[in-house]
Amino acid sequence: MEDASHGGLRAAFARLGAAALELLKTRADLAALEFSEHRDRARTLLILLGVAGIAFAFAAMSATALVVVYFWETYRIAALVGVTLIYVVVGVFALWRLSEHRRTDPTPFAETRAELERDREWLAGHLRRDK
C-alpha cells in the first residue's frame, strides 16, 4: 500500500512539474510574442520618423531660403529671427509630444507580467486552501 501511495505521490509531483513547465512555456511564448510585436512597432516607428525627419528638414531648408531671399532687401534680420522662432516652437512642441508618448506608452511585457501575477495569486490561493 505504501508503494502505491508513494507511486501516486510521485505521479502527482510529475503531473505538477509537467503543468508548471507547460505554464512557464506558455508565459515565455507570450513574452516572446510581445517582444516581437514591440520590436516590429519600434522598427516601423523609427523608419517613419527617419523619412519624415529628412523630408521636413529639406522642406524647412527650402522654406527658410525662400523667406530670407524674399525679405532680403527689406527685413532680412526679422525674417531670420522669425524663421528661427518658428523652428524653436516646432522643436519644443515635438519634445513635448515625445515626453507625452513616453509617459503614456504601456510598459513592455505588461500582459506577460499581468498573467504571471494572476498565476501567482491563483497558486497562493490554492496553497492557502490546502493547509
Q: Residue 89: pLDDT above 50?
A: yes
H/E run at residue 68: helix 2-70
| pTM passes above 0.75 | no
Q: Residue 120: pLDDT above 80?
A: no
20, 28, 91: which is closest to 60 by C-alpha? 91
Q: Residue 41: pLDDT above 80?
A: yes
Q: Residue 39: pLDDT above 50?
A: yes
57, 50, 64: which is closest to 91 by C-alpha? 57
Higher-confidence position of 61 and 6: 61
> From CA 76, how far away is CA 65, in angstroms rounded?
11
